[in-house]
Amino acid sequence: MNRLTISLMVALALVTLGATPAAAQQPELGTGERPWAKGVPQDKQTAALALFRDGNFLLKNSLFPKAVEKYREALKLWDHPAIHYNMALALLNLNEPIALHSHLVASMRYGEAPLDADKFERARTFKTLVESQLSHVDISCEVPGTTVMMNGQVLFKAPGRHQGFVVPGPHTFSATREGYPRNDRKRTLAPGEKLTLPIKLYTDEELTRYTRHWASWKSWAVLGAGAAVAAGGGLLHLQARDSFDSFDAGVLSCGGCMPDDSLASKRSRGDTLQKVAVGSYAAGGAALLTGMVLLYVNRAQPYRISPDELEQAPSATPEPPAVSVTPIVGGGEGGVLATFRF
C-alpha cells in the first residue's frame, strides 16, 4: 500500500469519523421513470442484481479484489449508480485512485434518486477528498495531425484537448508528428496540483543552438591585432626606407664626404625602424596565425535544447569587445601597441 492509498484512506476515515461507509441498497427492477434503467432489458437487470449481491457479500468480508470483479461484471449488464457506488467502496481499499474517482463520479450522475440523500452526500465528500489527493491535467495541442500521449498512452489526435485526474508523481507528455522532432515534456505533479500544458511543436532549427569555447570577438580581436601589428610594421618599413633615402641623398650631395652627426642619425634611425618593422612582421604574423587557430578551435558547435528551454530561456546580450590598437613612433623608436580584453 503506497503513500497515496494511505492518504486517501486516512482522509476518508476522518470524514466518516471512523464509521464504515454504507453500501448502496439493491437497485430496484423495472423501468418506470428511472433514466438509469432506460433501455436495459429485465433479464439483464436480474443478472446484474445477482452479481451485485455477490459483490456485496465479498465487500462485507473484505475480499475487495473479488468484489471489484463482480461489480465490473454487473456494470457490463446494467450501468447503475448504486453499482458504481459500491465499486468505489471496494476500490477505496485498493491502489486504484483514478478508477475510484471515476466510479464516484458515475455514482452521482443522476443525483440522489438512485442512491439516497445520505449516500449521495457521502459520495460527493469522497469525491472531493480523492480529488485533493490527485493531480489534475489540462493538455492541449492545436497542430493538426499531432499525436499527443501521456506516459506512452495516446490521449488524442490534435487539434484536441484532454482534461482529467492523474496520480501525483512524474509524468511525461509527448507530441509526435511527421516532419517535427518528438516533443517530450516531463512534469512532477504534487497532490492537488493543476497542470495546464498547451503543447507546441518546433522544428529542428528552432531547437538548435550553438555554443563556443569563448566569445567569438576574442578570436577576431587577436586576428585583428595581428593584422594591425603587421600593418604597423609596414608603416615603419616605409619610414625606414625614407630615412635611408635621405641619408643616401645627403652623402651624394656632398660628393661622398664623411657623414656628419646629423646625417649619420638618419641612417641610425633607419636601421632602428627597419629592425622594429621586422619584429612587427614577426609578431603580427604570429598573432595572425594564432587568431586563425583560435577561430577554428572556437567554431560554433551545435546542440539541442528542449521545448521547455526554448520557451523559458531569457535573451542574452553578449559583452561588447574592448580592443585598442595604437601605433607608436617617436624618440628614435617605433612600434604598435595593441591591447584587448578577454
Query: How far, rounded to the nearest angstrom, does the alpha carbon of residue 188 sit from its chain's CA centroid?
Result: 13
Highest-confidence segment of 9-13, 80-84, 245-249, 306-310: 80-84
Model pLDDT, residue 56: 93
Cell of 17: 469519523
Percentage above 90 pLDDT, the chain: 44
Q: How confident is the model at residue 313 (pLDDT cuts 50, 70, 90)?
A: low
Residues 6+ apart with CB under 8 A from 327: 232, 235, 334, 335, 336, 337
Query: What end-to-end distance do the CA atoms of the chain give, in Å?
Result: 60
**What does the mean pLDDT of the chain come to?**
81
Query: What is the tens place of the pLDDT at every residue in 199-214?
Result: 999 888 888 888 888 8
Instruction: Assess whether pLDDT exceeds 80 at residue 342.
Output: no
- Domain-by-domain residue ranges, the chain? 3-133, 136-201, 209-341
Rounded Cα gap, residues 288 and 284, in angstroms: 6
Which residue, among 142, 135, 191, 188, has the nearest Cα to 164 in the 3D structure?
A: 135
Which segments of 117-182 are extended strands (E)?
135-141, 147-150, 153-157, 160-166, 169-176
The reply to whether 3-133 and 136-201 are identical in fold is no
Model pLDDT, residue 329: 45
Instruction: Assess whether pLDDT exceeds 70 at residue 182.
Output: yes
More confident residue, 8 or 160: 160
Model pLDDT, residue 31: 52
Question: Hey, which CATH number is domain 3-133, 3.40.50.2000, 3.90.800.10, 1.25.40.10, 1.10.260.40?
Answer: 1.25.40.10
pLDDT, average across residues 78-106: 92
Which residue, among 103, 76, 80, has the nearest Cα to 90 in the 3D structure?
A: 103
pLDDT, average across residues 126-151: 95
Torsion angle (degrees, nearest 10) of CA 46, 52, 58, 63: 130
pLDDT, average across residues 33-43: 87
pLDDT, average across residues 116-137: 93
What's phi and psi for 145, nearest 5 deg? 85, 0
Q: Which CATH class is domain 136-201?
A: mainly beta
